């Protein structure tokens, strides 16, 4: 499917201005822009390590999730894909109908000497998405856009659960967190045209309206963890 059609097909709630912008190089604002906030650091985190680690996170459209983590210091690769369902249905044309059990997700490979798993979760909950929205994210509707964490091991699952409990207990948001922790699920990379989408299409209408503000928030709220040049899937694959 032509990725320029993706914003249109996602939701009937997508604003008219964005519909007109599909396939064009435009700059526009969006009245439903996500509110970002710095939430407390996790009280429980993984111990320091030297080996690369992987986190799999879902928070709406994977274009923006990937884009934020590609600009995060310590991330060595961020791949858009699908998690939560079967390998046979890990295709965009199937996942987009919301019936495959998959979520659009991003596999984040990171250097724990630079950034911890807990700090990735702090960015995830602060600027990547709104974890109080159930089976949607902004204009994108359906369980494929759910907020979810796919832990690589029991320790990640324990830290993620503890952090959600911590944030709910601190009333970090005006509503309860609905992020699901889904253990034992595989990850399947998305089609090539979805990879590095934000970096390759910085003036795409959907990107400008929904995802550029997230990267701007990362730079503003986490300056020590922001890097200007994104790490790209295409570059990481070549190394």
Instruction: Enumerate the active-site residues.
Output: 61
Q: At what angle do helices 212-221 and 62-70 cross, to 10 degrees?
A: 30
Residue 163's alpha-carbon distances to 150, 151, 152, 154, in angstroms, are 14, 13, 16, 14
């Amino acid at each position: 499917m032509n990725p320029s059609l993706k914003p249109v097909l996602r939701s009937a709630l997508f604003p008219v201005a964005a519909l007109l912008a599909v396939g064009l190089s435009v700059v526009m604002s969006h009245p439903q822009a996500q509110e970002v906030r710095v939430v407390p650091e996790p009280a429980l985190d993984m111990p320091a390590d030297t080996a690369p680690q992987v986190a799999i996170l879902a928070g709406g459209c994977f274009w923006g999730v990937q884009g934020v983590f590609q600009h995060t210091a310590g991330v060595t690769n961020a791949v858009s894909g699908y998690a939560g369902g079967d390998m046979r249905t890990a295709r965009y044309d199937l996942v987009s109908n919301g019936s495959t059990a998959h979520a659009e997700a991003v596999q984040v490979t990171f250097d724990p000497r630079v950034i911890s798993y807990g700090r990735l979760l702090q960015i995830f909950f602060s600027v990547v998405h709104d974890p109080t929205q159930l089976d949607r994210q902004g204009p994108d509707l359906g369980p494929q856009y759910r907020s979810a964490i796919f832990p690589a091991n029991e320790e990640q699952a324990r830290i993620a659960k503890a952090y959600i409990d911590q944030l709910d207990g601190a009333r970090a948001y005006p509503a309860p967190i609905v992020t699901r922790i889904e253990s034992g699920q595989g990850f399947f990379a998305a089609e090539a045209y979805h990879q590095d989408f934000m970096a390759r299409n910085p003036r795409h209408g959907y990107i400008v309206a929904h995802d550029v503000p997230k990267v701007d928030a990362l730079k503003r709220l986490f300056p020590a963890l922001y890097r200007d040049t994104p790490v790209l899937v295409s570059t990481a694959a070549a190394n």
